[in-house]
Amino acid sequence: MTQHRRTAQPEADPSIILPSEEREELRSVIAQFVARHATHEDVRASTEADPGFSQARWATLNEELEISALAVPEDLGGHGFGFGDLGVVLEETGAALLPEPILASAVVGCRALVRADDTEAISGLLADVIAGRVTLAVALDASVALDEDGDRVGAEQKTEGVLWGAAADHLVVVATHGGSDVLAVIDLSDAARHPREVMDLTRRRADLDLAGAPARVIVGAERLGEVLAELRRVQSAALAAEHAGIAAHLVDITVAYVQQRHQFGRAIGSFQAIKHRLADMLVDRERARAAAMYAMAILDEPDAADAEIAVAVASAVCADAATRSAYEAIQLHGGIGFTWEHSAHFYLRRVLGDEGAFGGGRQARRVVADLVGV
């Protein structure tokens, strides 16, 4: 039997990833915010305090930069920017390792509410999330059972290892109701939370006891498959954009260091062996940026045939680039790079933590292979 193979080449017009004045202005605004409010010392300090991120910084992100409203349609109270624009934001916030729940609440969680069967019914919750007054956690690979009425979680229901679960106000999760799978949002006001010990200090996780928690179905069984697939693509593409930002930042700080560090009367960056390693990091950065930009931009194209494979390719390329860059940054920073005081270890912990939470480059390559029929 002949095996069906799909092309893995981009199908959209390449202009969707070209720089634009608006996107570069947006990048500049986020970069300035990071420089003022999210230095490595700021991030490190906020991870050591409850709830694991800076509530003041989260408030500023939403009240001044309105980050949660960016990709929400205007008719639902947002600004109507595309995912391509949001990708620029994620690169910069990823590069700074911001511990705030941008990925879960401002990106995936907001999109889940936008895709609700009845957006009028959840308009109040969406408005609170857009404003940053309420935060969402997301567990797309978990499942809980609702009671017969569908307005509460059943007895003895738990969700393990939820990112930002210790601080979130609501949880978006797959649920079973009436013998069918649906997408539900769970009120965590009275949920018992059990923080986990984590590798990545910038993304805390917790086990949640959800028994009896108030719930509402936002996407019914008929549309669940379509919406869940979209949310997973959004989550993977957004994570890829963060990883592209991490790879870019690690190139910058490593180049700066090897120009300042001298050995045998010369900057170590002038040595041929160091140049080759930096060149490999640069190639990784450019590949990651291109793949992530295309994956985010393709999400804005209606019915794009290559959206699924574009996101899978970006996931693989960007995860690998960020991981390799983190290891190289530690090595090329020499003795200081191996100490906990240096920021390089935070980046390595982030990419390894993401691999555990979302699956790394190896898993993404398996998805690519399946899609192209290898």
Cα–Cα distance measured from residue 8 to residue 117, given in angstroms and rounded to the nearest whole number: 33
Residue type at position 5 = R
The vertex-166 CA angle with 229 and 120, nearest 5°, equals 50
- DSSP E strands in the chain: the ranges are 136-145, 158-163, 170-177, 180-187, 192-195, 205-209, 215-219, 262-263, 266-267
Residue whose tokens read 């601080």: 167
**Predicted confidence band at 3 (pLDDT cuts at 50, 70, 90)?**
very low
The CA distance from 268 to 62, in Å, is: 43
Q: Span 328-333, mean pLDDT?
A: 91
Q: Which residues contact 72 (CB under 8 A, 6 or more apart)?
A: 78, 79, 80, 110, 114, 126, 130
pLDDT tens digit sequence for 277-304: 999 999 999 999 999 999 999 999 888 8
CATH of the domain spanning 224-372, picked from 3.30.70.1520, 1.10.10.10, 1.10.3720.10, 1.20.140.10: 1.20.140.10
**Amino acid, single-letter form, for residue 265:** G
Helices (H), 261-343: 272-298, 307-332, 334-337
Instruction: Please state whether beta strands 205-209 and 262-263 pair in parallel, antiparallel, or not at all (unpaired).
Output: unpaired
Domain boundaries, given as residue ranges, for the chain: 224-372
Give the pLDDT band (50/70/90) at residue 171: very high
| pLDDT tens column, 179-195 | 899 999 999 999 999 99
Could you give the maximum distance between any two Cα atoms of the chain, in Å? Answer: 76
Confidence of residue 257 (pLDDT cuts 50, 70, 90): confident
> How many degrees, rounded to 5, is the angle at CA 326 between CA 324 and CA 329?
105
Residue 108 C-beta-side C-alpha neighbours within 13 Å: 27
Give the range among 7-11, 44-48, 134-138, 300-304 with minimum mean pLDDT: 7-11
Classify residue 51 by burial, with Cβ atoms within 10 Å: 0-12, 13-18, 19+: middle
Q: Measuring CA to CA, which residue among 327, 324, 353 is closest to residue 338?
A: 327
DSSP 8-state symbol, 343? T
User: What are the pLDDT digits (tens) for 144-153?
Assistant: 999 988 899 9
- What's residue 170's pLDDT? 98
- pLDDT of 219 above 60: yes
Residue 32 identity (one-letter amino acid) = Q
Query: Cα–Cα distance between 122 and 233 in angstroms, integer?
Result: 23
> Considering the entire predicted model, what is its pTM?
0.94
The set of long-range contacts for 120-128, using a CB threshold of 8 Å and a minimum separation of 24, is: 121/216, 122/185, 122/216, 122/218, 123/76, 123/77, 125/170, 125/185, 126/72, 126/76, 126/77, 127/77
Question: Which one is predicted more confidently, 304 or 169?
Answer: 169
Find tokens 């939820």 and name the residue. Answer: 162
